[in-house]
């Protein structure tokens, strides 16, 4: 099994697998929405999981193919999100479940970056006033990671943010829907400790 990316965080380890890992984990059916649910309510549709440190019994999993896997570690627990542009525009980073864990740090794993995220001019309507659009030769690109960091700082001014600095569309170690319409997904895992 291949683990193209691994990163130690404050309270655990973030990994991106190119295939479904052979381990037990919590996972929701992702629908490009904004719902964040407790691991106790699974199985259900949601794009985020949260669990207190005391109740963290097995790893959490988020599937992506260009969207952002975001780990938010807090004083009281962790939130693990699947956040694409729809979730970001619809306010997934403003959900009460994130505030409940008293967030301290956020880490954004491998995802599409502005180098490969070309959008239409009308796409700007999803993020009015955002400074994260670039125009080059009448083409527009959008920096999803920078927008997510801005949104987190607006909600939690003291949060520390980092990202993997790896574009899933550029780097062929990762599956990318934007690159080749693949049905395969990256399995992003968060393991406590």
Other Cβ atoms less than 10 A from the Cβ of 122: the count is 8
The residue extents of the domains of the chain are: 5-192
Taking the domain 5-192, which CATH number applies?
3.60.140.10
Q: What is the pLDDT of residues 30-77, one digit of tens each?
A: 999 999 999 999 999 999 999 999 999 999 999 999 999 999 999 999
DSSP three-state, residue 153: helix
At residue 2, the pLDDT reads: 66
Q: Go through 8-45 and write b for each residue having 16 or more CB atoms within 10 A of its CB, e for each that does not.
A: ebebbebbbbbeebeeebbbbebeeebbbbbbeeeeee
């Amino acid at each position: 099994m291949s683990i193209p990316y691994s990163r130690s965080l404050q309270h655990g380890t973030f990994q991106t697998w190119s295939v479904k890992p052979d381990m037990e984990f919590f996972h929701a059916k992702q629908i490009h929405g904004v719902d964040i649910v407790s691991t106790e309510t699974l199985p259900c549709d949601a794009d985020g999981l949260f669990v207190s440190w005391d109740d963290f019994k097995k790893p959490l999993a988020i599937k992506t193919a260009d969207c952002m896997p975001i780990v938010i570690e807090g004083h009281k627990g962790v939130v693990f999100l699947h956040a694409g542009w729809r979730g970001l525009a619809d306010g997934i980073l403003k959900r009460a479940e994130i505030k409940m864990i008293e967030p301290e740090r956020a880490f954004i794993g491998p995802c599409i970056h502005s180098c490969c995220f070309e959008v239409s001019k009308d796409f700007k309507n999803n993020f009015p006033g955002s400074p994260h659009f670039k125009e080059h030769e009448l083409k527009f690109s959008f920096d999803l990671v920078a927008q997510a960091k801005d949104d987190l700082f607006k909600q939690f001014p003291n949060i520390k943010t980092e990202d993997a600095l790896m574009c899933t569309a550029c780097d062929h170690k990762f599956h990318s829907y934007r690159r080749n319409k693949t049905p395969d997904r990256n399995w992003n895992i968060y393991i406590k400790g």
